[in-house]
Amino acid sequence: MAAMQQQLDFIAYIQRMLAEGDFSATYKFALLHAIADVCVEHPLQQPDSELVITLDELVDKLILLYWHHAVPFAADSNGDAALLKQNAGRQSKVISVLYECQQNNIRNIRQLKLSQYWPAIYRATLATLKDGPLWRLQILSKQAECFLYPHSNSSKFIKLNPGIAYSFRRFYDLVVYLAKNAWLQKIQSIKDNQKLLGAQSQLHEFLFGVDRNALNKARPVLIEIQRGLCFYCHKPLKDQSSADVDHFIPFARYSTDLGHNFVAAHSGCNNSKRDYLAAQVHRDNWQQQNLVQHAAVLSTELAAYFFCDAAKSLAVSDWAYGVAQANGAKLWLNKDEFVVAGAAQHVQANPVTMSIAPVAANDAPAITAADDSLRLCYFPNLKIACGHFKTGNISEAEQWPAPTGFGTLNPAKHFLARASGNSMAGGKNPILDGQLLLLELISPTSAGSLQNCTVAIERQDQSGDNQYLLRDVKKIADGQYLLLAKNADYPPLAADETMRTFARLKGIVE
* Whole-angstrom distance, CA of residue 6 vs CA of residue 120: 40
Is 455 a residue that touches Zn ion (CB under 5 A)? no
Say which amino acid occupies 439.
L
Q: Could you say which residues in the range 361-420 bind Zn ion, by CB under 5 A? A: none
Nearer to Zn ion, 57 or 244 (CB): 244
- Phi, psi at residue 246, to the nearest 5°? -100, 140
Nearer to Zn ion, 261 or 454 (CB): 261
Return the residue of 11, 12, 55, 233 that touches Zn ion, per CB under 5 A: 233
Return the residue of 39, 178, 269, 417 that touches Zn ion, per CB under 5 A: 269
Nearer to Zn ion, 263 or 295 (CB): 263
Is 230 a residue that touches Zn ion (CB under 5 A)? yes
- Phi, psi at residue 239, to the nearest 5°? -100, 95
Where does this chain touch Zn ion (CB under 5 A) — which range of 32-40, 123-131, 266-274, 323-331? 266-274
Where does this chain touch Zn ion (CB under 5 A) — which range of 157-165, 230-238, 311-319, 416-424? 230-238
* Element containing residue 31 per DSSP (H, E): helix 27-41
Nearer to Zn ion, 186 or 266 (CB): 266
Quote the least distance from Cβ 235 to Zn ion, whole Å.
6
Quote the least distance from Cβ 269 to Zn ion, whole Å.
3
Is 333 a residue that touches Zn ion (CB under 5 A)? no
What lies within 8 Å, CB to CB, of 365 at 6+ separation is: 412
CB-based contact 197:75 (threshold 8 Å) = yes
Quote the least distance from Cβ 214 to Zn ion, whole Å.
22
- Phi, psi at residue 103, to the nearest 5°? -65, -25
Quote the least distance from Cβ 229 to Zn ion, whole Å.
8
Nearer to Zn ion, 282 or 474 (CB): 282
Q: Name beta bridge partners: 391.
A: 467
Nearer to Zn ion, 53 or 230 (CB): 230
Quote the least distance from Cβ 268 to Zn ion, whole Å.
6
The Cβ of residue 144 has, within 10 Å, a number of other Cβ atoms equal to 13
Q: Name beta bridge partners: 505.
A: 439
The two beta strands, 337-340 and 414-420, are unpaired
* Whole-angstrom distance, CA of residue 69 vs CA of residue 88: 16
Nearer to Zn ion, 246 or 301 (CB): 246
Number of residues counted as binding Zn ion (CB under 5 A): 5
Where does this chain touch Zn ion (CB under 5 A) — which range of 53-61, 222-230, 378-386, 465-473? 222-230
Ranges of beta strands (E only) in 217-329 are 244-247, 262-265
Quote the least distance from Cβ 329 to Zn ion, whole Å.
22
Where does this chain touch Zn ion (CB under 5 A) — which range of 74-82, 223-231, 368-376, 451-459? 223-231
* Nearest-CB residue for Zn ion: 230
Where does this chain touch Zn ion (CB under 5 A) — which range of 72-80, 231-239, 272-280, 305-313? 231-239
477, burial (CB in 10 Å: exposed 0-12, middle 13-18, buried 19+): middle
Where does this chain touch Zn ion (CB under 5 A) — which range of 58-66, 89-97, 130-138, 260-268? 260-268
Provide the CA 219 distance to its chain's centre, in angstroms. 23
Quote the least distance from Cβ 274 to Zn ion, whole Å.
14
Best CA proximity match to 469, nearest among 401, 392, 362, 412:
392
Cα diameter, the chain: 100
- Phi, psi at residue 191, to the nearest 5°? -50, -50
- CA torsion 95-96-101-103 (nearest 10°) is 110
Nearer to Zn ion, 79 or 268 (CB): 268
* Whole-angstrom distance, CA of residue 129 vs CA of residue 133: 6
Nearer to Zn ion, 124 or 265 (CB): 265
Best CA proximity match to 262, nearest among 296, 233, 240, 231:
231
Where does this chain touch Zn ion (CB under 5 A) — which range of 38-46, 57-65, 251-259, 263-271? 263-271
Quote the least distance from Cβ 148 to Zn ion, whole Å.
35
* Whole-angstrom distance, CA of residue 178 vs CA of residue 113: 29
Return the residue of 266, 282, 330, 474 that touches Zn ion, per CB under 5 A: 266
Nearer to Zn ion, 165 or 237 (CB): 237
Nearer to Zn ion, 62 or 269 (CB): 269
Quote the least distance from Cβ 275 to Zn ion, whole Å.
17
Nearer to Zn ion, 27 or 232 (CB): 232
Quote the least distance from Cβ 317 to Zn ion, whole Å.
20
Q: Please, what is the Cα angle at 328 between 325 and 330, to 5 degrees?
A: 95
Q: Where are the alpha helices (DSSP H) in 104-227?
A: 109-114, 118-131, 164-170, 172-189, 191-197, 203-208, 212-225
Could you list the residues that contact Zn ion (CB under 5 A)?
A: 230, 232-233, 266, 269
